[in-house]
Amino acid sequence: QVELVESGGGSVQAGGSLRLSCGPSGYTYSRPWMAWFRQTPGKEREGVATIYTAAGTTYVADSVKGRFTISQDNAKNMLYLQMNGLKPEDTAMYYCAARSRLLCGGGCWGAEKYNSWGQGTQVTVSS
């Protein structure tokens, strides 16, 4: 079932910026961990950034560190991914994910740790 909805994807030139948004599609329940993943054809889903929502603690993958920022608006139950300095290798389908259980090691990396997903939004970066 689709419990999250992403938006904000599109096509941009290298060096450009995009902001992805994610929100609940219906019933809202506790999501102690949320994350952004991305996937290209033939590859496993890759974690981009995660956030422990109660404290706002964030974790960002080395590949996007310094360029991407994950943030949230708890009052609106929204999750964001600000992407700056986009590169062609950032081209992928981006997914929003949530975990309903609190306990999760490290920065809660790994697609298998998340139980709610959006349908994805495409990001294409041209050079």
Q: Which amino acid appears at position 82 of this protein? A: Q
Contact indicator for 94, 38 with CB cutoff of 8 Å: yes
pLDDT in the model for residue 32 = 94
Distance CA 104, CA 107 (A): 7
pLDDT in the model for residue 1 = 54
DSSP codes of every residue in 2-52: B-EEEE--EEEETT--EEEEEEESS-----SEEEEEEE-TTS--EEEEEEE
pLDDT tens, residue order, the chain (127 aa): 558 999 999 999 999 999 999 998 887 778 999 999 999 999 999 999 999 999 999 999 999 999 999 999 988 889 999 999 999 999 999 999 999 999 999 999 999 999 999 999 999 999 9
